[in-house]
Each structure stands twice: as C-alpha cells, then as structure tokens.
C-alpha cells in the first residue's frame, strides 16, 4: 500500500480505482488490481 499526499493523482491511474473514507482516513481501493491500494497522509 502506498502512502500518498494526493490521492487524486492515484485515482486517475486505473479506471476501477475508488476513493473511500474509513475511520477518518482516505483510501484508494481497487478490487480488480489490488496493487493500486493507497492511503492518504
């Protein structure tokens, strides 16, 4: 999982990326290709 300053850039990498908020943190998840997982901060 990558820790990134800007998730907006990571969201554009793949069509299946979704930005979700969990427990006050922002995550990018991708069911089809889990290597795109990322967290903000």
Domain that residue 9 falls in: 2-40
Angle at 21 between CA 33 and CA 31, to 5 degrees: 15
Nearest to 20 by CA among 4, 41, 11: 11
Distance (Å, whole) CA 17 – CA 15:
6
- What pLDDT is stored for residue 34 in this prediction? 92
Name the domain count of the chain: 1
Tens-digit pLDDT profile for residues 2-39? 999 999 999 999 999 999 999 999 999 999 999 999 99
- What pLDDT is stored for residue 41 in this prediction? 75
């Amino acid at each position: 999982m990558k820790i990134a300053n800007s998730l907006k850039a990571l969201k554009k990498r793949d069509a299946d990326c979704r930005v979700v908020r969990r427990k006050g943190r922002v995550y990018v998840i991708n069911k089809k290709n889990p290597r795109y997982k990322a967290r903000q901060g």
